[in-house]
């Protein structure tokens, strides 16, 4: 679930990215309209948080091009306070929601989450074997007992469950859980997976290693 954050104010951008990441989202950050437009054409983005005033092409134009391509990717606009015309114009262009600066971070997180839910309304909870992942509350339970997962472990486990019964490569896992351009070594993935295995305990799941390639998660028989 990649969130694309488009904001040219570096301090604000860092703060927003950190908060969304702390809430388990994978955040890709760009600082101008052209990069945003390219990212939206090339990457799999679940939600866009989009500043209007940007160098080069502005946020309005980014939304206009996105909708002109037929994309329904949800967009949350960041607008200046009191700029009522901007909000109306943005919504008419096809933005889904807006937030006026300055805003409270919890409100931003809540709105992005709401857009994520709207984008994939079906699954707020995933069950496999004796494991339940409550993706809305970000809670994992084995046989009804909560287990603690780090942000990375959660990302990997959720990805494996969504692709259960299929072999996935370590690189696929990395691409799914990391922001664009960030690196994680294949060895680090192995470390996370071995921790996940221990935490799964008696969940009735087999997290198999496919030598030299990756992993497959399936129900134990």
Q: How far is the CB of 53 from Ca ion (least distance, A)?
A: 4
CA-CA-CA-CA torsion sign (204, 210, 214, 216): negative
Report the residue closest to Ca ion, judged by CB.
53
Q: How far is the CB of 49 from Ca ion (least distance, A)?
A: 12
CA–CA–CA angle 7, 13, 15 (5° rounding): 155
Spell out, one character per residue from 42 to 71, where the chain touches Ca ion: x when CB under 5 A holds, - when not. Answer: ---------x-x------------------
How far apart, in Å, are the Cα atoms of 129 and each of 19, 132, 134, 199, 209? 32, 8, 14, 14, 18
User: In 10 A of CB 94, how many CB atoms?
Assistant: 16
> CA 130, CA 160: separation in Å to the nearest integer?
15
Measured from the CB atom, the residue of 8 and 134 that comes closer to Ca ion is 8
Helix residue ranges per DSSP H, the chain: 10-22, 33-42, 59-68, 84-93, 105-119, 151-162, 170-177, 186-200
Q: How far is the CB of 196 from Ca ion (least distance, A)?
A: 40
Candidate residues 1, 8, 65, 105; the one interacting with Ca ion per rule CB under 5 A: 8
Q: How far is the CB of 32 from Ca ion (least distance, A)?
A: 10
| Stretch in the footprint of Ca ion (CB under 5 A) among 2-10, 28-36, 82-90, 209-217 | 2-10
Residue 15 contacts Ca ion per CB under 5 A: no
Measured from the CB atom, the residue of 53 and 201 that comes closer to Ca ion is 53
Largest separation between any pair of C-alpha atoms in the chain: 61
Q: How far is the CB of 15 from Ca ion (least distance, A)?
A: 14
Measured from the CB atom, the residue of 54 and 217 that comes closer to Ca ion is 54
- Judging by DSSP bridges, how do beta strands 139-142 and 131-134 pair with one another? antiparallel
How many residues of this chain bind Ca ion (CB under 5 A)? Answer: 3
Give residues in contact with Ca ion (CB under 5 A): 8, 51, 53
């Amino acid at each position: 679930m990649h969130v694309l954050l488009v904001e040219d104010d570096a301090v604000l951008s860092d703060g927003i990215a950190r908060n969304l990441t702390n809430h388990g989202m994978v955040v890709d950050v760009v600082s101008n309209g052209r990069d945003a437009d390219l990212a939206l054409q090339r990457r799999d983005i679940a939600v866009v948080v989009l500043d209007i005033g940007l160098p080069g092409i502005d946020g309005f134009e980014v939304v206009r091009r996105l909708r002109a391509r037929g994309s329904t990717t949800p967009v949350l606009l960041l607008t200046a306070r009191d700029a009522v015309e901007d909000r109306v114009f943005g919504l008419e262009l096809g933005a889904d929601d807006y937030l006026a600066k300055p805003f409270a971070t919890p409100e931003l997180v809540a709105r992005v989450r709401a857009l994520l839910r709207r984008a994939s309304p079906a699954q707020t909870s995933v069950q496999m074997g004796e494991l339940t992942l409550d993706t809305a509350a970000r809670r994992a339970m084995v046989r009804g007992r909560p287990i603690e997962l780090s942000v990375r472990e959660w990302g990997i486990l959720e990805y494996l469950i969504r692709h259960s019964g299929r072999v996935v490569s370590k690189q696929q896992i990395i691409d799914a859980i990391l922001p664009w351009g960030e690196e994680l070594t294949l060895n680090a993935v192995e470390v996370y997976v071995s921790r996940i295995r221990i935490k799964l305990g008696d969940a009735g799941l087999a997290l198999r290693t496919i030598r030299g390639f990756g992993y497959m998660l399936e129900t134990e028989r």
